Structure 1
Amino acid sequence: MYIVYVLYSVQFDKIYVGFTNNPENRFKSHNEPGTKGWTIKFRPWTILHTETFNDKSSAMKRERQLKSAGGRAFIRELLQQRSQ
């Protein structure tokens, strides 16, 4: 099973989209001290959205969709709904 996830940094108004087959470790790695990677600059991260897929190729396809302009619009809509 694969999880596509959207993280949000409230402090920096940044979005991160990724996928994993080990969500617990992956989410932990985004917020724990580390020395490399884009996400270390914008901590702390909160989980905004997740979707579950049975196979890696479907998860990768959805990740690409969420990283597109339409996907970013969907994510911004989620943020607007969350703040109401």
Structure 2
Amino acid sequence: MNPAFFVYAIKSINRNYIYVGLTDNPERRLEQHNKGFNKTTKPYAPFSRIYLEEVGTREKARMREKYLKSGTGKEFLRSLI
């Protein structure tokens, strides 16, 4: 059985920064971001999750992640804040 994949967006609590990623374990991934394990997001911690979507396969998750990183996708994410 293949694990489900999720696309997520997190927002820095202290700064104007949104990060979009994919994972098979959203809770663990948010914890990793908040503990500074990711070099890209470390300067922007702490984070709160603003979006989570289960998409099934890794390939579908990657396509959705690319969309959410686009201009239209970022507009959608900003509308959630």
Same fold flag (TM > 0.5): yes
Indicate the residue corresponding to 1:8 in structure 2: 11
Indicate the residue corresponding to 2:55 in structure 1: 53
Q: Normalising to structure 1: TM-score of the pair? A: 0.86
> Structure 2 unaligned runs (5+)?
none
Between 25-34 and 13-22, report the one with greater CA deviation: 25-34
1:64 aligns with 2:66: yes
Q: CA RMSD in A?
A: 1.2
Q: Which is richer in helix?
A: 1
Q: Which contiguous aligned blocks of 4+ residues in structure 1 show a shift greater than 4 angstroms?
A: none
Cα 1:28/1:74, change in 2 over 3 Å: same
Q: Secondary structure at the match of 1:13?
A: coil
Identity of aligned residues (%): 35
User: 1:14-70 CA distances to partner (integer Å, 9 max, x unpaired)?
Assistant: 100000012222111000144x51111001000001000111111000000000000
